[in-house]
Amino acid sequence: MMDLHGLPVAGIDEAGRGPWAGPVVVAAVILNPDRIPEGLNDSKLLTPDAGRTATRRSWPRLSVAIAIGHVRRIDRDNILQASLWGMRLAFRGLEVPQAAALIDGNMIPKRFPGKARAVVGGDGISLSVAAASIIAKVTRDRIMVKLAKRYRRYGWESNKGYGTPEHARAVQKHGVCTHHRRSFAPIQRAMRILAKRGEFEPTI
């Protein structure tokens, strides 16, 4: 896709701002304007199978880059700053050196290394942003499924770290682990309850 200045356009979107656990993942994608994939849509409207199909290697892209903001960064800088950091890093990682960016949302990161425009609801407006949304979500889902094999108590293979009733019950019963976002209010409340009960956090 091209912008008004004739530059290739990278769509940028993130997945995982809201969960209680796991990283935030940002994707930057430049689509091939001669081979736009069929069925691009907001990642939140896709089934898991459709998302996996959309991210196969045969999917026509000019360039894609992914940045992962881990829990330590989220707790240190806050989730917004971790997401903005990921947007800068993903954009820098693109193989196309001169590009502009359409960023889903209403904020452009400070010191962004290129021309950029924020687009509220961009994943439903721009095909490149929709592609970034899909890739970010599928990447993050795979990370959470992998973590769930080690941290079996929290149901991350299904809830992906979000604050579902299942996840909340598991945290209340078993405490938190190293992949929980301790800067998030629900996790802080759970830790205070554990402390009052005199229980230690599990070493799992």
> What is d(CA 122, CA 142) in angstroms, rounded to the nearest whole number?
24
Is 123 labeled as ligand-binding? no
> What is d(CA 92, CA 75) in angstroms, rounded to the nearest whole number?
24
How many residues belong to the chain?
204
39: Cβ–Cβ under 8 A, 6 or more apart, which residues?
50, 54
192: Cβ–Cβ under 8 A, 6 or more apart, which residues?
none
The two tokens of residue 127 are: 């095909």
> What is d(CA 91, CA 151) in angstroms, rounded to the nearest whole number?
32
Is 75 labeled as ligand-binding? no
The two tokens of residue 136 are: 């970010």
The two tokens of residue 147 are: 């973590």
The two tokens of residue 163 are: 């604050």
> What is d(CA 97, CA 106) in angstroms, rounded to the nearest whole number?
25
> What is d(CA 77, CA 50) in angstroms, rounded to the nearest whole number?
34
- Tokens 């091209």 belong to which residue? 2
Is 166 labeled as ligand-binding? no
List binding-site positions: 13-14, 104
List binding-site positions for a divalent metal cation: 13-14, 104
